[in-house]
Amino acid sequence: MAAFSYNTAAELFPAAIRKKKRAGFAYRRFDTAAAAVQFAIEELPADSLNGAYLQVEEARFDQSGIRSLYESQDFPLERRVRAEEPATDDADAA
């Protein structure tokens, strides 16, 4: 596989969701693939990322591919810790 260039322009397409009037986000174009990958992983809700794809030149990446690009040691941007949803403790509910 050829080396991936994070500096290439990229397009992020939403999942085609038939039951909803619109997806969680609209099509977006990014100056760099790195910015697109970072946006997809750090900003999109998980349900919006599911089914979305990233187009970089002739290559297309699904949710798994986007995550692999983000987790790669070659990813050039600083990773931000994604805010986790607050955990609920069943013991506190009683």
Domains of the chain, by residue range, sit at 10-78
Give the per-residue pLDDT at 52. 92
Residue pLDDT, tens place only, 10-24 = 999 988 765 555 556
Residue pLDDT, tens place only, 33-92 = 999 999 999 998 888 888 899 999 999 999 999 999 999 999 999 988 655 544 455 555
Q: What one-character DSSP code corresponds to residue 48?
A: H
Give the per-residue pLDDT at 94. 47
Give the per-residue pLDDT at 86. 47
What separation in angstroms does the CA of 91 have from each of 84, 86, 87, 88, 94? 20, 15, 12, 9, 6
Give the per-residue pLDDT at 24. 60
